[in-house]
Structure 1
Amino acid sequence: MKTASERRAALNRLVESRTVTRVSPPLLLPAGPFFDLAGEEFGRALLLTTASTGIEYCLRPDFTLPIAQTYIEDGLVGVPAAYTYLGTIFRQQDGLPVEFEQAGLELLGQPDAGNALDQVLTFARWALAIYDINAPFVRLGGVGLFESFLAAADISPAWQARIRHRFGHPDAMARVMERLSIPRERNAVEAPDGREAVIEIVTDAMLQGGLSLVGGRTPEEVADRYIEKQALDAAPLSDGTLQLLQDYLEVEDSAPAALDRIWSLTAAAGLDIEEPIQIVRNHAAALQALSPKADVIFDASFSPRLDYYTGVVFEMTNDEGEVLASGGEYDRLLDRLGASQPVPASGCALWVDRLEQEATR
């Protein structure tokens, strides 16, 4: 068994390979991008402070977002780049500040996105091997596969967006599925013509009711929610499509068996999503070859709770379900940070403290 110092030396060698650039983003970062891109749930874990200018900052809670921002700010969009890191992140846990050590790899702008993801999976697997973890539980998900399924199925754009935004959030997805399963009568009242007309009606109603137009939900927000609801009610899913969606989300098995099941379900419904299914198959097979003793499961309902993920995603966990490594493809992040062109991106994060605990058990 390796000593702690030997494991640390091996991990340092992994993150300081000649083919990558090791980086260390600042400890204090603007909090705004984390709220905007990682969402309210992640925002509650931030450790915040406010500058005299009124701008909120946070102790570094993550490496991926600042690395992606720097890549764009340095004018590297369109240039292949590979970054590694090893350092401390800071978050709240049970109301208390906690420090964690993380290591990871981020591959940005690589010409072969599939190969980049396999490199990320290999990096994660090598890292676990340093800590003598040779048979992890691996859970794969397919964000891109699910989006292809939604696009191919008989589902309106409004419902596609609503379902997609709740993908990976079991409680929120359950509420959507419940709403879809309840028959609804069409509203017999003719809706106002156009968004501006709806805003006018809402504004008048708020004023007549003595409600302020500032400090709460604005007339524009209320109007947009009303228009969205009308669009959803006007395009309910058929019973067959709803059942297909439920069957899809319930698929969880060894990767080959799960993907065979999804192919059978979709082919029987006349949907052609063979290409995205094959993409997941290829990565699952590569990962299984890397880790012959690992349990590689495909969970059709699995996705990180960050909606900038786009393709194959994964978690590697211990027997108790603690995440040791996680990541995947996140092409949407660079676009949302203002990249001038699409940038393929793959990466993973390793929870070094948990890896150390596993190695000493």
Structure 2
Amino acid sequence: MPVVKTNWVKKTLGACLAFSFSTLLISSPFVTNTAFAHAEHGSEGGIPTVSPKAKLPKGISLQVVKTNAYQFALATDGQQQIEILGEDKRAFLRFDGDKLYADLNATGWHRSRQPGGGPVPDRLKDNPKMKPNWVLLNKQPGYGWYDPRLIKEDVAHFNLSLLSNGKPLNVRIERIEPKPMTGYWRPLLINEPDFTGLNAMVPGLSGNTFMLSRLGTAKGEFQVLDDQGQPFLELRKDGVWLNSMHAWANTVELFHNPGTDQSPWVKVSETGTVTYADPRLDNKPEKTSETGSWVIPVKLKDGEQQSTLNGELKWQAIVDKQK
């Protein structure tokens, strides 16, 4: 399926994935790391994707994306009426213009909460045809949700059933073979922090993971700033804190409780160390022959002194030793 390159698709997809993940954390406090055990699976039989032959109505974009696991991401232009049907053919999500609803009495809604299929309440196991209970989730023309079939590697293809403006629509989802890996982008840190008691490193060979540690020798507390100079992480004496209202809060891959406008800062670590996903390490050059650069500013929380952590992004080719 060709992806429509319009602003509403880009904006809505980003917002819907962030909202779906925050909704999962807010309304499912029982979810633990064990619930994401399937996150590393789902692609051995091929990568699940929307069939190139699928024809979607104008104003709708549907993709399979990989976050902590494969999930659907649907974006609309805010003028559509869409219902998503579960495996039991009952609607569990509804888009009405820019309003998003969920049927809390639909099995599909509870199954969509976790990658391998969320637990179904006993009340629905005993009475799966319970009267619909539609509730307004948010005002937004898109959403991201899990589908257990996306990680079933023995399922070569299946249909995602929808109602688009009252008309039935089956979208074929199929698995394609991944392209062979020829290399990867490797982020490198090229300088040390200027502050005493602050350590920084890139813990992996690839990806956008970054690690910061406030040591016992530190005299102050530190803030990690975004590209506009606004703090989104703080390394304090009592642990690491995240500004839950920041635009990056749901992309840094730190599990956290929701904050409020009055108290946006929430603790994400009891220690002085944090490993998070920094979007600036994903700023890849267009060509593998080029070297990218990234900067992470850090400042003293109670002061004006600031230090920049500078890095490079280089393409590391994989050499086939059998040749």
TM-score by length of 2: 0.26
Instruction: Give the structure with the larger strand fraction.
Output: 2
Instruction: Give the structure with the larger helix fraction.
Output: 1
TM-score by length of 1: 0.24
Q: Which has the higher contact order (CA 8 A, sep 6+)?
A: 1
